[in-house]
Chains A and B, each alone.
Chain A
Amino acid sequence: MPLIKGGRFVADPWHALSDDEPIPEAPRLIVSYARWLKERDVLALLPAQLGLRLPNDVSAAKLGDDLDRFALIALSFPRFTDGRAYSQARLLRGRLRFTGELRAEGDVLRDQLLFMRRCGFDAFTVSERALFEDWLQAFREFDVFYQPAEDRQISLLRRRLAAARGDFTVA
């Protein structure tokens, strides 16, 4: 499936390891949360970079220090109307200071891409039609945002709070 990262379609360098697949010699492996729980000790010691597929009803805080082991976390939108992963992403990107790739998977549609990026996602697995329907334009639909999120955009709240203080350096 096509992958959007950095505002463009890119090849996916990651190998998604299914739960019953033997561990290959690959430099980058994504494992499911279930598999991580089951084979943590083996997986943790692999030379490969690891990615984790976290279900949308598990708090990232449960990973504790294990979070450092992952260069990628994939979060799930089982249906696009299920918005739990937006909160998961903000927790990871914000409070937990995760600096790896935050990838959106599942029912990822054009009109939610900007919300996702604002919450800290930086990679998006999309369906084939994204290639024909100019989905990249979605990231440019707004440049004014009312509230702070995880995308380091200066929100209107910040701007106005600064102005109220007399600080006009926040442009």
Chain B
Amino acid sequence: MYRYDSYDHRFLEERVAQYRDQVRRRLAGLLSEDEFKPLRLMNGLYLQLHAYMLRVAIPYGTLSSRQLRMLAHIARRYDRGFGHFTTRQNIQFHWIKLEETPDILADLATVEMHAIQTSGNSFRNTTADPWAGAAVDEIEDPRPYCEIIRQWSTLHPEFSFLPRKFKIALSGAPSDRAAVRIHDIGLYLRRNEAGEVGFEVLVGGGLGRTPLLAETVRTFLPKRHLLSYLEAILRIYNQYGRRDNLYKSRIKILVQSLGIARLRDEVEAEWAAMDKEELSLPEDAIADMARHFPAMDPTPAPADGDAMRAALAAEPGFARWVEQNVAPHKVPGYAIVNISLKEPGATPGDCTGEQMELVADLADRYGKGEIRVTHEQNLVLPQIRRVDLLALWRSLASARLATANIGLASAIIACPGMDYCSLATARSIPVAQRLALALAPREREIGDLQIKISGCINACGHHHVGHIGLLGVDKNGEEFYQITLGGSADEHAAVGAIIGPAVKSDEIVHSVDTIVDVYLRLRADGERFPETYRRVGAKPFKEALYAAH
């Protein structure tokens, strides 16, 4: 992973000092809340229902064990012993005191971490495929480009006061594990007919009040033009993005109103007029960055032998976990281990300090010290020898980190919702808990099913792109949930359709059970939920849900 040099360290020190002074001025009354709020947001600090919330950046979801241990320390020292991994591969702490935040940022800086631009109207975390560097289907590791983008976008003087937030995601494989199309800019690494690898550039994705999928603005962009092209897009957005209406200020609205063809013309015209040399990335510069993300040693590790076969036969729990949570690795004899933070009944995405310490230790012992965070609020050990899986599983199981439900119905994605968040209109965690417990008994029969819950229209739970999406709304002071069906965040991205009136909180489990029943009844062999929904449409689901009333 990227290793800081003296300049990066110095920059972080300067940032911490700047923030410490901003907090001092706020507490001394030299800065009003209106003046301070954008500044604290630029360091990821929200004021929530019960306390401040700090969102720490985990660039493109990649962590070292040392960094994960520091997050455990932050949880214990400054919070209530846990953290929450988010749908943007970051981590949030929900019980933070403003007066302690300069010290928190100083502690984070000692391990090359920060909370820069995890909120505010500028670039947010650039996210990526959590299996980068390990996935079987990968064309090229996106992380060197993520780091290049991260640096370019850090305290960019021209783009620190955009009309609204700006989110970028990268995928280096044909399978989209980064939800690229729901981002303001999405980047796919693609190989063209000449065999060269470059970027397909997409613009205008986003959820919230107006969910839209990003559209292609450039089919093939040579790598060396990555930053200059991004800068051209941002300059158009900074100047023409709406600033009069908070709900119409993302670049997706600009794409919607101009049309992608006209936006392309504007971007290409700006790009043509730019001095591209300044931001040009020659091959040796990219190679230099790629050295921070070395390709894995391709020497295979031992294949599964008798010991593994015996273990799978003797321990059904281990067998289920391998089947559900362990994915193939590009190097034979290795595996990608997905760690579920979705034990039914627990808070999705939450992780205690002790659990973080254990995962850090396991990463060191078995996995070259590297951990990933996914946009589904889980963790990944991207590089584990298959011969170590049994021992790893036992350790994870002892810490309740081995729930074999990755991709299944009980592995629900949910935002913190109204239990924590001042923006929320309804709770999401208790709904997730009830649903997970209700569906877990038959989830293997159901198969792949992604349920996503948001506690308000801001859609941090990504409900629009859940196979089943739930949006919490307030109806006369009561919590209701609007149901959407058929969403998808992968390479067949789709925005879910609302299928009828919102449902009361105490009817949600019954409603989802009904939807699942219809799916099980109608699905063709091997059909996943989105495919069945596309084939049969909303009608059978609507009838089952609403006809009885």
Contact = CB atoms under 8 A, between A and B. Distances in A.
Interface in B480-527: none
A147 B151 contact: yes
Contacts of B284: 164-165
A82 B152 contact: no
Contacts of A160: 285, 288
Interface string A80-100: 111110110010001100000
B48 interface: no
A164 B275 contact: no
A83 B279 contact: no
A163 interface: yes
Interface in B143-161: 151-161
B282 A156 contact: no
Interface string A125-151: 000000001000000011111111100
Contact of B161 (A82, A118, A144, A157): A82
Given A82-B243, A95-B273, A146-B152, A164 B288 contact: yes
Interface string B215-228: 00000000000010
Interface residues of B, number: 43
Contacts of A115: 155, 157-158, 160-161
B239 interface: yes
Contacts of B15: 142
Interface string B358-381: 000000000000000000000000
B38 A81 contact: yes
B239 A84 contact: yes
Contact of B30 (A81, A90, A133): A133
Contacts of A119: 157-158
A28 B239 CA distance: 30
A147 B156 contact: yes
Nearest to B17: A141
Q: Is the interface of B mostly helix, strand, loop or mixed?
A: helix
A146 B231 CA distance: 14
A87 B161 CA distance: 10
A146 B279 contact: no
B315 interface: no
A163 B288 CA distance: 9
A164 B285 CA distance: 5
Nearest to B18: A141
B262 to A, nearest CB: 17
A144 B11 contact: yes
B161 A80 contact: yes
A109 interface: yes
A159 interface: yes
Interface in B161-196: 161-162
Given A148-B278, A156-B151, A164-B287, A86 B14 contact: no
Given A83-B160, A119-B157, A160-B288, A94 B17 contact: no
A109 B162 CA distance: 17
Contacts of B162: 83
Contacts of A86: 157-161, 238
A68 interface: no
Contacts of A59: 239
Contacts of A146: 11, 151-152, 154-156
Interface in B251-300: 273-275, 278-279, 281-282, 284-285, 287-288
Contact of A87 (B238, B274, B282): B238
A136 to B, nearest CB: 14
A144 B7 contact: yes
B279 A148 contact: yes
B306 interface: no
B111 interface: no
Nearest to B9: A144
Interface of B: 7-8, 10-11, 14-15, 17-18, 22, 25, 30, 35, 38-39, 121, 151-162, 227, 235, 238-239, 243, 273-275, 278-279, 281-282, 284-285, 287-288
